[in-house]
C-alpha cells in the first residue's frame, strides 16, 4: 500500500512537472514603413476629365423629359414618376398607391428658390378588401 502511494505521488509529480508553460504572445513588429505622400499639393484645376459647368458660364442649359409608370393589379402596385427640365427649372410629379388604398401624388418644382412640393391624396375609387 505504501509503495502504491509512492508510485501515485511520483506519477502526480511527473504530470505536474510535464505541464507546459502557457505561450507568451508578443505584439508583432510592423512590416511596413511610415506612409509617404506621393501626390504633392492639390491644385485648383483638375488635370483630367471635363470641366464642371458653373451657373452663369456660357454653357448649354440642361434639357430633358422622362416618365415611367408601374402598375400590377394582382399585387396592388401602382406608382410612377414624370419629370421635365428646361434650363435650371425642373417640374414633375410622382405618385404611389398607399396600403390604405389612397394614392399620394406629389407635384413639384425645383429651381434656384429650392424644392417646392405640393402633396395631395386621392381617395380610392372602389374598395378592394383592404
Cell of residue 75, nine digits: 399585387
Per-residue pLDDT of the chain (130 residues; tens, 9 = 90+): 778 888 888 887 777 777 777 888 888 887 777 777 677 666 666 666 666 666 565 667 789 999 999 999 888 889 999 999 998 899 999 999 998 889 999 999 998 889 999 999 999 876 555 5
| Helix or strand run (H / E) with residue 4 | helix 2-18
Distance separating alpha carbons of residues 89 and 60, to the nearest angstrom? 14
CB pairs under 8 A, 24+ apart, for 79-86?
86/61
Distance separating alpha carbons of residues 81 and 94, to the nearest angstrom? 4
Tell how strand 103-111 and strand 114-122 pair up. Answer: antiparallel
β-sheet bridge partners, residue 96: 79, 104
0.75 surpassed by pTM: no
Nearest to 117 by CA among 93, 85, 89, 83: 93
Amino acid at each position: 500500500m505504501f509503495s502504491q502511494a509512492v508510485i501515485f505521488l511520483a506519477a502526480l509529480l511527473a504530470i505536474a512537472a510535464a505541464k507546459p508553460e502557457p505561450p507568451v504572445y508578443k505584439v508583432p513588429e510592423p512590416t511596413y514603413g511610415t506612409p509617404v505622400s506621393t501626390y504633392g499639393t492639390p491644385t485648383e484645376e483638375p488635370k483630367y476629365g471635363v470641366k464642371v459647368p458653373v451657373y452663369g458660364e456660357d454653357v448649354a442649359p440642361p434639357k430633358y423629359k422622362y416618365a415611367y409608370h408601374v402598375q400590377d393589379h394582382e399585387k396592388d402596385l401602382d406608382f410612377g414618376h414624370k419629370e421635365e427640365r428646361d434650363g435650371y427649372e425642373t417640374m414633375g410629379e410622382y405618385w404611389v398607391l398607399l396600403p390604405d388604398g389612397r394614392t399620394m401624388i406629389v407635384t413639384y418644382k425645383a429651381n434656384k428658390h429650392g424644392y417646392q412640393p405640393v402633396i395631395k391624396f386621392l381617395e380610392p375609387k372602389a374598395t378592394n378588401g383592404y
